[in-house]
């Protein structure tokens, strides 16, 4: 039994030794692995946190020479330079709306310059002004009962004008006006700022002295007799606003209160058509917008349009207000004819223009009247 116990004790010792050897090997392996892992952890440390090296103040020796410095003197340790971090460059913020505005302004400027150059080029290519000025006599030709002051009115601001009495041989400057009291022809012409001359034109005046009709009324021949016709729309005063909003019955009553009556359509048209009875308008055969108040928005004071005068001396017969007459409509017996048109009738203000849509008892804001007398 003794030999078997000895063998088992040896085995135990060997087993313990192996275990101890394995433990030692494991310890060594663990140490080796630990040594390998430590540098890897150092590499993981980011560069953004450098380890600050303590700075040792250098010993400044100004007066001691190198030979006298003892060997054990502490030498100056150079200060480690800190590495500067690269500054972050902020990218400029680009305002797209501002760039668009600048581009639009630049485009607008270029277009404006191009347009101005184009306009200048077109103006340079335009032919020179060769149209003569339009000129007319003021007051207009016709019959007058008092001396008048003649002028030649031009349609341009800068204009020279001349008047010659009887013929074209004795022209006079017409700017200041020429006193006139003679029956006959008057010649006139004008020159504009471009040097263009109008042709000589003429107008006829009849200076009469036999007015039997009284103030602001003049005789008009109608079918072999003379009828006195008011010069202005009622109340027949120059410079006053004519009366509207009056019925035909009221108009007849107002005329009767002055010893007069409403004009018949035939009398009214004779006063408008002129001496030859062939004028479509009181001032002539063609429509001229500036002559009468026929293309505006309201009634004006009587006589303000001095060129809106018939040969016999009646003003504002074309435009301003429709005028009641004593003539009944043939189409409708209950209506009376009004003549002349209103302030906005334009070329429908002819001497022959009439309307039968007015009832005698009604008042209208665009209808007035003038009176006549036998």
Q: What is the pLDDT of residues 216-269, one digit of tens each?
A: 999 999 999 999 999 999 999 999 999 999 999 999 999 999 999 999 999 999
Q: Helix, strand, or coil here: 218?
A: strand
How are beta strands 148-154 and 371-373 bridged, if at all? unpaired
pLDDT band at 16 (very low <50, low <70, confident <90, very high): confident
Rounded Cα gap, residues 131 and 191, in angstroms: 10
**In the predicted structure, residue 152 carries a pLDDT above the cut 90:** yes
Same domain, 223 and 361: yes
- Using CA atoms, how far apart are residues 134 and 282, in angstroms rounded to an integer? 19
**Domain contains 359:** yes
Q: Are residues 275 and 310 in the same domain?
A: yes
pLDDT band at residue 57, thresholds of 50, 70 and 90?
very low
- Do residue 222 and residue 358 come from a single domain? yes
pLDDT score of 122: 64
The confidence score (pLDDT) of residue 245 equals 97
Assign residue 335 the CATH number of its domain. 3.90.1580.10
- Residues 238, 162, single domain; the answer is no
Helices (H), the chain: 2-44, 96-125, 248-256, 265-273
DSSP 53: P
Which of 218, 232, 222 lies closest to 269 in space, CA to CA? Answer: 222
CA torsion sign for 344, 347, 350, 356 is negative
Same domain for 273 and 309? yes
Confidence check: pLDDT of 158 > 60? yes
Mean pLDDT of 173-193: 94
Q: How large is the average pLDDT for residues 286-300?
A: 96
Average pLDDT for 295-319: 97
Residue 168 covered by a domain:
yes
Residue at which a domain ends, from 207, 229, 256: 207
- Round the average pLDDT of the chain to a whole number and report it: 83
Residues 260 and 284 in one domain: yes
Task: Tell me, yes or no, whether 222 and 330 share the same domain.
Answer: yes
Task: Supply the range of the domain harboring residue 319.
Answer: 217-373
Q: Supply the DSSP string of 286-325, one letter for each residue.
A: S--TTTTT-SSSS---TT-STT-B-TTS-B--SSSSEEEE
**Is residue 284 assigned to a domain?**
yes
Q: Can you tell me whether residue 212 is helix, strand or coil?
A: coil
CA distances to 142, 147, 302, 366, 370 from 223, in Å: 20, 29, 28, 30, 20
Distance separating alpha carbons of residues 163 and 68, to the nearest angstrom: 128
* 38 found inside a domain: no
- Which residue, chain included where needed, has tokens 């404006």? 112
229 and 309 together in one domain: yes
Choose one of 147, 175, 207: the last residue of a domain: 207
Cβ contacts of 148-157, under 8 Å, gap ≥ 24: 148/179, 148/180, 148/181, 148/205, 149/177, 149/178, 149/179, 149/180, 150/174, 150/177, 150/178, 150/179, 150/180, 150/186, 151/175, 151/177, 151/178, 152/188, 152/189, 152/190, 154/190, 154/192, 156/192, 156/193
Report whether the peptide linkage leading into residue 282 is cis, meaning its omega lies within 30 degrees of zero.
no
Do 235 and 334 lie in one domain? The reply is yes
Total domains present in the chain: 2
Residue 164's CATH number: 2.60.40
Give the pLDDT of residue 4: 54
Same domain, 309 and 171: no
Residue 56 lies in a domain: no
Whether 86 is covered by a domain: the verdict is no
d(CA 337, CA 317): 15
Same structural domain, 280 and 232? yes
Do 175 and 255 share a domain, yes or no? no
The two three-digit tokens of residue 111, written as one number: 């277009």
- Backbone angles phi and psi of 348, in degrees to 5: -90, 25
> Considering the domain boundaries, does residue 165 fall inside one?
yes
Model pLDDT, residue 71: 43
Higher pLDDT, 29 or 270: 270
Does residue 26 belong to any structural domain of this protein? Answer: no
């Amino acid at each position: 039994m003794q030999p078997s116990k000895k063998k088992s004790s040896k085995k135990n010792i060997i087993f313990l030794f192996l275990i101890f050897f394995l433990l030692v090997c494991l310890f060594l392996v663990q140490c080796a692995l630990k040594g390998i892992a430590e540098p890897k952890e150092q590499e993981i440390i980011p560069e953004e946190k450098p380890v600050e090296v303590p700075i040792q103040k250098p010993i400044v020796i100004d007066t001691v020479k190198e030979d006298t410095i003892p060997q054990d003197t502490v030498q100056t340790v150079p200060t480690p330079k800190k590495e500067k971090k690269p500054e972050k460059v902020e990218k400029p913020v680009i305002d797209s709306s501002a760039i668009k505005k600048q581009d639009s302004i630049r485009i607008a400027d270029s277009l404006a310059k191009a347009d101005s150059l184009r306009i200048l080029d077109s103006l340079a290519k335009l032919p020179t002004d060769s149209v003569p000025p339009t000129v007319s006599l003021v007051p207009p030709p016709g019959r007058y009962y008092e001396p008048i002051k003649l002028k030649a009115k031009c349609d341009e601001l800068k204009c020279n004008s001349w008047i010659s009495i009887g013929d074209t041989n004795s022209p006079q400057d017409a700017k200041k006006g020429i006193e006139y009291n003679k029956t006959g022809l008057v010649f006139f012409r004008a020159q504009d700022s471009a040097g263009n001359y109008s042709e000589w034109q003429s107008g006829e005046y009849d200076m009469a002295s036999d007015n039997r009709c009284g103030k602001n009324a003049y005789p008009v021949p109608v079918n072999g007799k003379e009828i006195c016709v008011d010069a202005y729309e009622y109340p027949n005063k120059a410079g006053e606003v004519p009366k509207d909003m009056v019925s035909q019955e009221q108009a007849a009553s107002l005329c009767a209160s002055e010893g007069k009556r409403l004009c018949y359509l035939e009398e009214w048209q004779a006063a408008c058509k002129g001496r030859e009875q062939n004028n479509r308008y009181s001032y002539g055969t063609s429509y001229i917008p500036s002559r009468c108040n026929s293309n505006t928005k309201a009634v004006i004071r009587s006589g303000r349009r001095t060129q809106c005068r018939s040969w016999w001396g009646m003003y504002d017969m074309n435009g301003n207000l429709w005028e009641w007459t004593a003539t009944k409509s043939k189409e409708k017996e209950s209506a009376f004819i009004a003549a002349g048109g209103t302030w906005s009738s334009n070329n429908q203000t002819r001497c022959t223009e009439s309307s039968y849509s007015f009832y005698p008892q009604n008042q209208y804001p665009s209808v007035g009247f003038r009176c006549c007398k036998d």
